[in-house]
């Protein structure tokens, strides 16, 4: 069994081999790993962490409040009854896919905190079971988020389809990059393209990802 330190070191090396590390933000997805694993990653210099489940994530954020300068990203499906917890504790929400959720996050973000950083989740593979806005809805949703004072529109997020077909993956990631360019032409706060997971991050980086979200590659298999 590799240690967390060994896993981080090999991922850092692989990123260096693949891209200019300074332009790729590594999000360590700590869902279903204990707070202790986050502490180990923090000690290695990791600062951005991702969680999928509101309750688990909030508990970890509270348990780890002594760690300074962390950025917590909510990356899971959003339910209306969970938005308050998320708005009060997280720094980023990457899975916004409808106006109602954006409105709630804006209303529930405490006034003394900086605006929540928002990525819009795109259902790039058009799979019915996956959440995410389609392209037509996207620009309208972006305008809504951009107009809300307690939210800052940062970019786009997608989950590539579960296929080993590299051509399909490349098409999806390239389509995302083109959508990001369209968004950047309209909104000057947009700088983030969050795509690529443990199984496909190299392809995502080649297509223009600025943030990759790795769980298994950094922390090992989830329970």
CB 161, min distance to ligand PLP, A: 13
**Residue number with CB closer to ligand PLP (31 or 47):** 31
CB 201, min distance to ligand PLP, A: 8
- Concatenated DSSP letters of 140-172: HHHHHHHH-TTEEEEEEE----S---HHHHHHH
Largest separation between any pair of C-alpha atoms in the chain: 48
| Burial group, residue 115, by CB count within 10 angstroms (0-12, 13-18, 19+) | middle
Rounded to whole angstroms, the Cα distance separating 130 from 159 reads: 9
Q: Which residue is nearest to ligand PLP (CB)?
A: 215
- In the chain the first and final C-alpha atoms are separated, in Å, by 15
CB 196, min distance to ligand PLP, A: 8
What is the binding site for ligand PLP (CB under 6 A)? 29, 31, 52, 75, 159, 197-199, 213-217
**Residue number with CB closer to ligand PLP (146 or 193):** 193
Rounded to whole angstroms, the Cα distance separating 198 from 216 reads: 6
CB 126, min distance to ligand PLP, A: 17
């Amino acid at each position: 069994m590799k240690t967390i330190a060994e896993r981080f070191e090999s991922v850092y090396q692989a990123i260096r081999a693949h891209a200019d590390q300074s332009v790729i933000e590594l999000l360590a997805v700590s869902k279903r790993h204990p707070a202790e694993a986050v502490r180990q990653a923090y000690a290695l210099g990791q600062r951005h962490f991702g969680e999928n489940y509101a309750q688990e994530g909030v508990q970890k954020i509270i348990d780890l409040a002594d760690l300074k300068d962390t950025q917590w990203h909510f990356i899971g499906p959003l339910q209306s009854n969970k938005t308050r917890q998320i708005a009060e504790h997280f720094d980023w929400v990457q899975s916004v896919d409808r106006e109602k959720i954006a409105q709630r996050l804006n209303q529930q973000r405490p006034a003394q905190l900086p605006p929540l950083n928002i990525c819009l989740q795109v259902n790039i593979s058009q799979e019915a079971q996956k959440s995410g806005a389609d392209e037509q809805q996207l620009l309208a949703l972006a305008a809504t988020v951009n107009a809300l004072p307690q939210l800052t529109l940062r970019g786009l997020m997608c989950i590539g389809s579960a296929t080993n077909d590299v051509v399909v993956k490349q098409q999806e990631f390239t389509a995302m990059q083109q959508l990001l360019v369209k968004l950047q032409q309209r909104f000057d706060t947009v700088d983030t393209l969050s795509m690529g997971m443990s199984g496909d991050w190299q392809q995502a980086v080649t297509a223009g990802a600025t943030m990759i979200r790795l769980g298994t590659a950094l922390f090992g298999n989830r329970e």
